[in-house]
Structure 1
Amino acid sequence: MVHLKAILHPKKVKKEKTIYRLALRVTNFRKRSYFHLGYNIDPNDWDEKAEKVKKSHPKYQHLNRLIRKKYDQLDDIIYEAERNKTQLSAKQITDKIRDNTRNKSFFDFAKEHVEDLEKSKKFNRAISDRSKAKNIKEFTKGKDVLFQEIDENFLRRFKIYLKNEKNNSERSVMNSYVFIRLLFNRAIKNGIIDQSFYPFGRGKILIKYPESLKIGLTEEEILKIEQLDLQTHTPLWHTRNIFLFSFYLAGIRITDVLHLKWNDIIEDRLLYRMKKNAKLDSLKLPEKVIVILKFYREDQRSYADFIFPELKKVGDDETKQKYSIIKGAIKKHNSNLQNIAKLAEIDKKITNHIARHSFGNIAGDKVSPQMLQKLYRHSSLSTTIGYQGNFIHASSDQALNEILKFSTEKKN
Structure 2
Amino acid sequence: MKAKIDVIGENHRPSVNGEIPLSIRLTQNKKRKYIRIGINIQPQYWDSKKNKLKPNCPDREYLDNIITEKLSKYQKQILEFQSIAKEYSINQLIESVERPTKNISINDYLNSVIENLTKENRIGNATHYQALYNSLERFTKINQLQFVDIDVPFLNKYETHLRNMGNKNNSISIKMRTLKAVYNKAVKDNIVKKDYYPFNEYNVSKLKDSTPKRSILKEDIQKIISLDVQTISKRPQSLLQFSKDLFLFSYLGCGINMVDMAHLKRSNIVSTRIVYKRHKTGKQISFLLQPYALEIIQRYENGNNDYIFPILDDSIHTTAEQQFRRIKKVTYVANKNLKKIGESINLSIPLTTYCARHNKAHYYLLINRLRSIRLSTGNDLETSLVLRYA
Question: Structure 1-normalised TM-score?
Answer: 0.63
For 1:317 and 1:249, locate their aligned partners in 2 and report how far apart those are by CA, in whole Å. 27
Aligned to 2:88: none
Aligned to 1:164: 164
For 1:124 and 1:216, locate their aligned partners in 2 and report how far apart those are by CA, in whole Å. 25
Deviations 1:158-209 (A, max 9, x none): 11111122x22222222222222222222223332222111111xx112213
Aligned pair in 2 of structure 1 residues 136, 373: CA closer, same or farther (>3 Å)?
A: farther
Read off the aligned partner of 2:162 and give its amino acid letter.
L
Read off the aligned partner of 1:169 and give its amino acid letter.
K
For 2:342 and 2:300, locate their aligned partners in 1 and report how far apart those are by CA, in whole Å. 24
- What runs of 5+ residues in structure 2 fail to find an aligned partner? 1-22, 41-58, 75-94, 231-235, 372-390
Read off the aligned partner of 2:241 and give its amino acid letter.
W
Matches within 5 A, 1:37-76: none
**What secondary structure does 1:353 align onto?**
helix
For 2:29 and 2:113, locate their aligned partners in 1 and report how far apart those are by CA, in whole Å. 44
For 2:25 and 2:199, locate their aligned partners in 1 and report how far apart those are by CA, in whole Å. 28
Aligned pair in 2 of structure 1 residues 249, 19: CA closer, same or farther (>3 Å)?
A: farther
Native 8 Å contact 1:314 1:322 kept in 2 = no
Alignment counterpart, residue 290 of structure 1, candidates 294, 314, 329: 294
Matches within 5 A, 1:64-143: 101-102=102-103, 104-142=104-142
Deviations 1:340-379 (A, max 9, x none): 223333342111111112336xx7xxx696326679xxxx
Aligned to 1:370: 366
Q: Which moved more, 1:113-122 or 1:314-323?
A: 314-323
Aligned to 1:215: 214
Native 8 Å contact 1:10 1:18 kept in 2 = no
Q: Which moved more, 1:336-345 or 1:236-245?
A: 336-345
Native 8 Å contact 2:187 2:194 kept in 1 = yes
For 1:359 and 1:182, locate their aligned partners in 2 and report how far apart those are by CA, in whole Å. 29
Q: Which moved more, 1:25-34 or 1:145-154?
A: 25-34
Matches within 5 A, 1:301-316: 301=304, 305-314=306-315
**What secondary structure does 2:229 align onto?**
coil
Read off the aligned partner of 2:31 and give its amino acid letter.
K
Aligned pair in 2 of structure 1 residues 359, 191: CA closer, same or farther (>3 Å)?
A: closer
Aligned pair in 2 of structure 1 residues 293, 311: CA closer, same or farther (>3 Å)?
A: same
**What secondary structure does 1:239 align onto?**
helix
Alignment counterpart, residue 17 of structure 1, candidates 21, 31, 41: 31
Deviations 1:294-347 (A, max 9, x none): 212233x37xx1100111244785432221111111111111112222333334
The answer as to 2:280 corresponding to 1:276 is yes
Aligned to 2:6: none
Aligned to 2:81: none
Aligned pair in 2 of structure 1 residues 290, 275: CA closer, same or farther (>3 Å)?
A: same
For 1:101 and 1:257, locate their aligned partners in 2 and report how far apart those are by CA, in whole Å. 42
Read off the aligned partner of 2:275 and give its amino acid letter.
L
Aligned pair in 2 of structure 1 residues 144, 219: CA closer, same or farther (>3 Å)?
A: same
Aligned pair in 2 of structure 1 residues 129, 181: CA closer, same or farther (>3 Å)?
A: same
The answer as to 2:173 corresponding to 1:174 is yes
Aligned to 2:266: 262
Native 8 Å contact 2:107 2:143 kept in 1 = no
Deviations 1:221-247 (A, max 9, x none): 111111112369711111111110000
Give the structure with higher Rg (CA): 2
Read off the aligned partner of 1:333 and give its amino acid letter.
A
Number of aligned positions between the proteins: 296
Aligned to 2:199: 200
The answer as to 2:361 corresponding to 1:356 is no
Question: Structure 2-normalised TM-score?
Answer: 0.66
Aligned to 1:189: 188
Aligned to 1:387: none
**What secondary structure does 2:274 align onto?**
strand
The share of aligned pairs that are identical, in percent, is 24
Native 8 Å contact 1:137 1:143 kept in 2 = yes
Aligned pair in 2 of structure 1 residues 214, 275: CA closer, same or farther (>3 Å)?
A: farther
Aligned to 1:328: 329
**What secondary structure does 2:227 align onto?**
coil
Aligned to 1:407: none
Q: How big is the shift at 1:141?
A: 3.0
Q: How big is the shift at 1:250?
A: 1.7
For 1:295 and 1:136, locate their aligned partners in 2 and report how far apart those are by CA, in whole Å. 47
For 1:314 and 1:25, locate their aligned partners in 2 and report how far apart those are by CA, in whole Å. 63
**What secondary structure does 1:272 align onto?**
strand
Read off the aligned partner of 1:239 and give its amino acid letter.
S
For 1:330 and 1:374, locate their aligned partners in 2 and report how far apart those are by CA, in whole Å. 32
For 2:311 and 2:215, locate their aligned partners in 1 and report how far apart those are by CA, in whole Å. 26
State the superposition RMSD in angstroms: 3.5
Read off the aligned partner of 2:139 and give its amino acid letter.
F
Read off the aligned partner of 2:366 and give its amino acid letter.
Q
For 1:227 and 1:160, locate their aligned partners in 2 and report how far apart those are by CA, in whole Å. 48
